[in-house]
């Protein structure tokens, strides 16, 4: 295993344009439950309703109550070794950008700067009625943690996070950035995602089609396993290894 992690590190150092794509498995290491995996959030009763736009419009308090612990109590969640290594790689110029399906802001908390959020983000909350109204994460989180709901100062409607809900279209700018980065990448690290849901499922294909290589680290099979130059199961083990190499190497 050690030799394979060494090979991966050499591959990252040699790459001209390395990009990472991260999914829920990366956050599981920080204690945030994977949406679809074992013990996943979606196994709970009503969990699909949390991110359903129709349901949100009927009863936004359901989302805020459910999301409070895993989005708004972010102070209780610490970035994992995966978040920290990715930030360190970016700092050393070895990682050009990071595409994430996650909405927990842990990459930013870990120190990553160039984060492309393809499922939107709770960095911004907005009013579904008043176009200009925006509230940042910190302000909204303080309100949610106090047990209240963030409301529009103009019309008092409950604000919606800029997370992409089921029934909404994905953020176009982020999708375009993600496909540009994937196309430019000569190395893409696919981390903690099973590549079953779009847009994540299609992003590594841009890299493969333009002649780049894909490395997969995921504890479940993905449709691209056979096309990966390297494949690992255990994110924790691989990134502890990379951390050692970054610190000592």
Size of the site for Zn ion (CB under 5 A): 7
Instruction: Tell me if 126 sits within 8 A of 133, measured CB to CB.
Output: yes
Of the candidates 17, 83, 107, 119, the residue annotated as catalytic is 119
Binding to Zn ion by CB under 5 A, coded x per residue (else -) over 155-184, reads: x-x---------------------------
> Binding of Zn ion at residue 13 (CB under 5 A)?
no
The CB density around residue 71, as the number of other CB atoms within 10 Å, is 22
- d(C-alpha 46, C-alpha 23), whole Å: 22
> Binding of Zn ion at residue 130 (CB under 5 A)?
yes
Instruction: Tell me if 140 sits within 8 A of 72, measured CB to CB.
Output: yes
> Binding of Zn ion at residue 152 (CB under 5 A)?
yes
Applying CB under 5 A, among 38, 154, 176, 209 the residue interacting with Zn ion is 154
**Nearest one of 218, 215, 20, 196 to 110, comparing CA atoms:** 20
Tokens of 66: 């459910």
What is the maximal distance between C-alpha atoms in the chain? 60
Q: Has 119 been annotated as catalytic?
A: yes
Q: Which stretch binds Zn ion (CB under 5 A): 6-14, 66-74, 78-86, 130-138?
A: 130-138
Query: 130 or 208: whose CB is closer to Zn ion?
Result: 130
Query: 107 or 160: whose CB is closer to Zn ion?
Result: 160
Q: Which of helix, strand or coil describes residue 126?
A: strand
Q: Which residues are catalytic?
A: 119
Could you list the residues that contact Zn ion (CB under 5 A)? 127, 129-130, 152, 154-155, 157
């Amino acid at each position: 295993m050690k030799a394979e992690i060494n090979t991966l590190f050499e591959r990252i150092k040699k790459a001209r344009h390395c990009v990472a794509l991260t999914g829920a498995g990366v956050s599981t290491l920080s204690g945030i439950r994977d949406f679809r995996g074992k013990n996943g959030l979606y196994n709970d009763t009503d969990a699909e309703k949390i991110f359903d736009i129709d349901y949100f419009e009927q009863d936004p308090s359901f989302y805020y109550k459910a999301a409070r612990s895993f989005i708004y109590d972010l102070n209780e969640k610490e970035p994992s070794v995966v978040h920290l290594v990715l930030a360190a790689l970016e700092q050393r110029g070895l990682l050009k950008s990071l595409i994430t399906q996650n909405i927990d802001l842990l990459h930013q908390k870990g120190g990553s700067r160039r984060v492309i959020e393809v499922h939107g983000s709770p960095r911004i909350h907005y009013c579904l009625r008043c176009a200009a109204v925006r509230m940042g994460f910190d302000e909204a989180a303080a309100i949610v943690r106090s047990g209240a709901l963030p409301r529009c100062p103009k019309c008092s409607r409950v604000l919606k996070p800029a997370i992409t809900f089921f029934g909404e279209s994905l953020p176009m700018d982020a999708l375009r950035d993600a496909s540009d980065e994937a196309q430019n990448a000569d190395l893409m690290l696919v981390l903690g995602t099973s590549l079953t849901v779009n847009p994540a499922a299609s992003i590594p294909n841009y890299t493969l089609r333009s002649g780049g290589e894909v490395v997969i680290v995921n504890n479940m099979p993905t449709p691209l396993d056979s096309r990966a130059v390297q494949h690992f199961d255990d994110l924790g083990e691989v990134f502890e290894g990379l951390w050692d190499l970054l610190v000592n190497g």
